[in-house]
Amino acid sequence: MSEIITIFGATGNQGKSVLKQILAHPVLNKTYKIRAVTRDPTKASAKALLELSKDAGKIELVSVSLFGGARDRRADGVQMGSR
């Protein structure tokens, strides 16, 4: 079973570069499946990511909305750093 590595902004320059490097690396390519996070997985640029891998199912496209439902969720607190 492969582990999953998540790449945020996978259709952007930096995200796509990271994705290509993982696919090209002999050990990383065998170790990880890729979860590619993008705003719209139906766009041509997102679908083109799937074609970068020879293995079907190697790359999973995921859509995430930063603001969807955020107002409905409650947080008990956020801790940053240590004291």
pLDDT tens, residue by residue, 14-42 = 999 999 999 999 999 999 999 999 988 89
State pTM to two decimals.
0.72
- Examine residue 69 and state whether it is found in any structural domain, yes or no: no
Number of other CB atoms surrounding residue 12 within 10 Å: 13
- Examine residue 9 and state whether it is found in any structural domain, yes or no: yes
CA-based end-to-end distance of the chain: 39
Q: Reply yes or no on whether the pLDDT at 76 is more than 70.
A: no
Overall domain count for the chain: 1
Number of other CB atoms surrounding residue 61 within 10 Å: 19
pLDDT of residue 71: 46
- Examine residue 16 and state whether it is found in any structural domain, yes or no: yes
Q: Pick the more confident residue, 68 or 9.
A: 9
- Examine residue 81 and state whether it is found in any structural domain, yes or no: no
Q: Could you tell me the residue range of the domain that residue 31 belongs to?
A: 3-64
- Residue 70 — very low, low, confident or very high, per pLDDT cuts 50/70/90? very low
